[in-house]
Homo-oligomer: A and B are copies of this chain.
């Protein structure tokens, strides 16, 4: 039975190390005294924890800083540049692979050739090859994060549906990649990965109730509620793209009717642009992303038909915000991915719907804004999946002893 007592002790140690790392990660250089205060640890415990972490190189001492009572003391910092992760973003037609440091700074990003339903096996092979090369080149990579379109059945390892590209359903990501490399692989649904990226890398990081509203080829959502991801039994919760906004509306591949995704995803917008034929001439031969970006460009340049369409899309985005507020009551909703490039006009239209349709007390306390992360937020999300895991379980990645 001594063994189980040690196990409990090990869990407490790991929790404390994780707390120290996360605090330094989010707060920059701190003295040991500041850390001990902030985390309610004794100075002796903090000294022990920091010694172990210093040994691994993941934190390091800086010159003297001004600490409590204006006394100078040694600072500790998180050496985020010392270790790297690989992020792999699987979208319907796009696979991107990047290497990042632990602060999400991109060191390299590679786009694989555009994927169609027929070339999915090639894309899977491409991921094996490219990741293999990157791992061989960079000994500092400690983990791989993957972001895949939802609904993703985490316990099974594959997506339950990828609207308009069913071929991805045949790929079991856990079986395909789980044990394929010298470092561990963690897979998450893309919007859930996106909210981890927001919480790690963005200014919104201090919101403990945060929603990331992914408006890409699909529409997805990741929600952090009181610091924890909302998961659901199979990791398939928060599938806002398949929540109906009209039970008599447009049918969806998932079986439901009136799914939000059928109105304001890049795929739906592209479809509407092709049908329209005039706002974006030649839309039929463009990628989903390209067609949307052309629409937004026309709108920004003053084309009234384009502006009216962006506002109509913004209303549908707003209907989604209303549902998100009533369903999850977050502090912050961050709009990201392709459709968020509709910018202020789209955001204003969404906000008007929220102003009309949400209870004032809830509306007043919910901030809605566009993502302030760079373009490749979902591939950053893939990296975030790995980094989040590292910060939660440092002993799985560092030689920290018991």
Contact = CB atoms under 8 A, between A and B. Distances in A.
Contacts of A161: 359
A1 interface: yes
A359 B329 contact: no
A242 to B, nearest CB: 5
A285 interface: no
A235 B358 contact: no
B5 A328 contact: no
Contacts of A238: 327-328
A1 B328 CA distance: 39
A362 interface: yes
Q: How many copies does the complex hold?
A: 2
Interface stretch (A226-234, A376-384, A391-399): A226-234
Interface stretch (A41-49, A52-60, A70-78): A41-49
A19 to B, nearest CB: 11
Contacts of A36: 1
Contacts of A5: 41-42, 45
A267 interface: no
A239 B146 CA distance: 32
Contacts of A1: 36, 42-43
A40 B7 contact: yes
Contacts of A25: none
B4 A256 contact: no
A244 interface: yes
